[in-house]
Chains A and B, each alone.
Chain A
Amino acid sequence: MQAFKCGYMIRPDGSVARDQTILVENGKILRLGADLAIPADAEVVDCRNQWISPGLIDPAAHLGYVKEPTAYDGELADCPETSDPIMPQFHVLEAFDPCNPSIQRVMQHGFTTVFCEPGGNGFGGASLLAGQGGCLKLRTSAVADRMYIAGTEQVCIELGDGPKMTFGMMKRPPYTRPGQLEMLRSAFDAARSGAQDRKSKVLMEALNGTKKVRITAQTPLDIANAIRLGSEYELSYLLEGLVQGYLVPELLSEANVPCIVEAMPYPTYSMQSIDLYGCHYENAASLEKAGLSFALSMREAEMTASLPIAAGRLTAYGLGEAAARRAITIRAAELLGISGRTGSLEAEKDADFAVFTGDPIDNTSCCTAVYIDGVREYLR
Chain B
Amino acid sequence: MIAIKCGTIVWRDGSASGPGVALIDSGKIIDVGSDVPVPEGAEVVDASSCWVSPGIIEPHCHVCYDAGGFNEMSDPVTPEMQARDTFYPFSRWLPALRAGGITTICLLPGSANLIGGVGWTAKLRRGTVTSDFDVDAARPVKMALGDNPISAYSKRQGRLFCRMGNAALMRSALMEARAYMDDRESRPEMKPNMKWEALLPLLRGEVPARVHAHRADDMVMAVELAEEFGYRIILEHCDECWMVKDWLAAKKVPFCLGPLYTPGVKAEMRNISLACAGEMEEAGCFFALTTDGYWNVSCGPYMAGTLTAYGLSREYARRAITIHGAQILGIDTHTGSLEPGKDADIAIFTGDPLVNKSRCVATMVDGEFVYREEGF
A and B held together in a complex: yes
Q: Establish whether residues A267 and B355, one from each chain, have CB atoms under 8 Å apart when the complex forms.
A: no
Partner of B308, one of A301, A313, A364: A364
- B195 in contact (CB, < 8 A): no
Tell me, in angstroms, the Cα distance from A267 to B357 when the chains sit together.
16
Which residue of chain A is the closest to B270 with respect to CB atoms?
A: A69
CB of B146, distance to nearest CB on chain A (Å): 12
Against B, the Cβ 8 Å flags (1 = close, 0 = not) of A60-94 are 00000010111110000000000000000000000
A49 touches B (CB below 8 Å): no
> In the bound complex, do residue A68 and residue B264 qualify as a contact, i.e. CB atoms below 8 Å apart?
yes
Partner of A267, one of B266, B269, B291, B310: B291
Contact A315 B299 (CB under 8 A): no
Complex CA–CA separation, A105 to B271 (angstroms) = 12
Which of B308, B309, B355 is the most central at the interface, judged by chain A CB atoms within 10 Å of its CB?
B309
- Give the docked Cα–Cα distance between A175 and B226 (Å): 49
Q: Is there an interface contact between A72 and B147, defined as CB atoms closer than 8 Å? A: yes
Check B299–A312 contact: CB distance below 8 A.
no
Shortest Cβ distance from residue A368 to the other chain B in the assembled complex, whole angstroms: 10
Complex: how many Å from CA A105 to CA B272?
11
Residues of B within 8 A of A66 (CB): 264
CB pair A313–B265 under 8 Å, yes or no, is no
When A71-B151, A365-B309 are in contact, do A302 and B295 touch as well, CB less than 8 Å? no
**Cross-chain contact of B358 among A70, A301, A316, A361 (Cβ < 8 A):** A316
Min CB gap A370→B, angstroms: 16
Task: State whether the Cβ of A236 lies closer than 8 Å to any Cβ in chain B.
Answer: no
Q: B354-366 interface mask toward A, CB cutoff 8 Å, 1 = contact, 0 = none?
A: 1111110000000
B263 within 8 A of A: yes
Nearest CB of chain A from residue B105's CB, rounded to whole Å: 15
Q: Determine the chain B residues whose CB is within 8 A of the CB of A105 once the complex forms.
A: 263-264
Query: Is the beta-carbon distance between B262 and A313 smaller than 8 angstroms?
Result: no
Quick check: is A293 within 8 A (CB to CB) of the other chain? Answer: no
Query: At the interface, yes or no: A268 with Cβ under 8 Å from chain B?
Result: yes
Distance of A269 from chain B, by nearest CB (Å): 7
Say yes or no: is A322 at the interface (Cβ < 8 Å to chain B).
no
Interface size on B, residues (CB 8 A): 34
Question: Which residues of A from 202 to 240 have beta carbons under 8 Å from B?
Answer: none
Q: Which of B264, B291, B306, B357 contacts A102 (CB 8 A)?
A: B264
Q: For chain B residues 139-174, which have a beta carbon within 8 Å of chain A? A: 147, 151
Name, among B92, B265, B296, the residue most crowded by chain A CB atoms within 10 Å (CB to CB). Answer: B265
Q: Give the distance to chain A from B189, nearest Cβ to Cβ, in Å.
A: 46
Q: Are B262 and A269 in contact (CB under 8 A)?
A: yes
Closest B residue, CB atoms, query A68: B264
Can you name the residue of chain A whose Cβ is closest to the Cβ of B96?
A265
A267 and B359 CA atoms in complex are apart in Å by: 16
B135 within 8 A of A: no
Instruction: Give B82 Cβ to nearest chain A Cβ, in Å.
Output: 22
Query: Chain B interface mostly helix, strand, loop or mixed?
Result: loop
Contact: A362 with B267, CB < 8 Å? no
Is there contact, CB below 8 Å, between B264 and A366?
A: no
B 88-122 binary contact with A (CB < 8 Å = 1; else 0) = 00001000100000000000000000000000000
**Interface of chain A, main secondary structure:** loop
Given the interface contacts A72-B147, A265-B296, A272-B294, does A302 sit within 8 Å of B265 by beta carbon? yes
In the complex the two chains form, what is the Cα distance from A317 to B298 in whole Å? 14
Cα distance A366–B305 in the bound complex, in angstroms: 12
Please report the C-alpha to C-alpha distance between residue A269 and residue B303 in the assembled complex, in whole angstroms. Answer: 15
CB proximity of B215 to chain A, nearest CB, Å: 11
Query: Considering the chains assembled together, what is the distance between the CA atoms of A72 and B294 in angstroms?
Result: 18
Give A363 to B314 CA distance when docked, in angstroms. Answer: 12
* A interface footprint on B248-288 (CB within 8 Å = 1, 0 otherwise): 00000000000101111111011000000000000000000
CA distance A365 to B310 in the complex (A): 9
User: In the bound complex, how far is the Cα of B270 from the Cα of A365, in angstroms?
Assistant: 24
- CB-CB under 8 A from A303, the residues of chain B are 261-262
Per-residue interface assignment for chain B, residues 328 to 351, with 1 indicating a CB less than 8 Å from any chain A CB and 0 otherwise: 000000000000000000000010
Q: Is B259 touching A267 in the complex (CB atoms < 8 A)?
A: yes
Name the B residues within 8 Å of A366 (CB-CB).
Answer: 309-310
B33 at the interface (CB under 8 A from A): no
Most chain B beta-carbon neighbours within 10 Å: one of A269, A306, A315: A269
How far does the alpha carbon of A302 sit from the alpha carbon of B270 in the complex, in Å? 12
- The complex places the Cα of A271 from the Cα of B303 at a distance, in Å, of 17
Instruction: Known contacts A268-B262, A302-B265, A364-B309; decide if A316 and B350 are in contact (CB<8 Å).
Output: yes
Assuming the contacts A265-B295, A313-B302, A317-B359, asked whether A364 and B262 have C-beta atoms less than 8 A apart, the reply is no
Question: Shortest beta-carbon distance, A240 to chain B, in Å?
Answer: 21
By beta carbon, the residue of chain A nearest B264 is: A68
Determine whether the beta carbon of A364 is less than 8 Å from that of B291: no
- Chain A residue at minimal CB-CB distance from B358: A316
Q: Please pick, from A68, A271, A362, the residue contacting B356 in the complex, using a CB distance under 8 A.
A: A362
Please give the distance in Å from A264's CB to the nearest CB on chain B: 10
Contact partner of B357 (CB less than 8 A), chosen from A101, A123, A268, A362, is A362
A305–B354 alpha-carbon span in the complex (Å)? 19
Residues of B participating in the A interface, judged by any CB pair closer than 8 Å: 92, 96, 147, 151, 259, 261-267, 269-270, 291, 293-296, 299, 302-303, 305-306, 308-310, 350, 354-359
Pull 15 A–B residue pairs with CB atoms less than 8 Å apart, ordered by A. A69-B270, A71-B266, A105-B263, A123-B265, A266-B296, A267-B291, A267-B296, A267-B299, A268-B262, A302-B262, A303-B262, A313-B299, A362-B356, A364-B309, A364-B355
The 3 tightest CB contacts between A and B, nearest first, are A69-B267, A363-B356, A366-B309
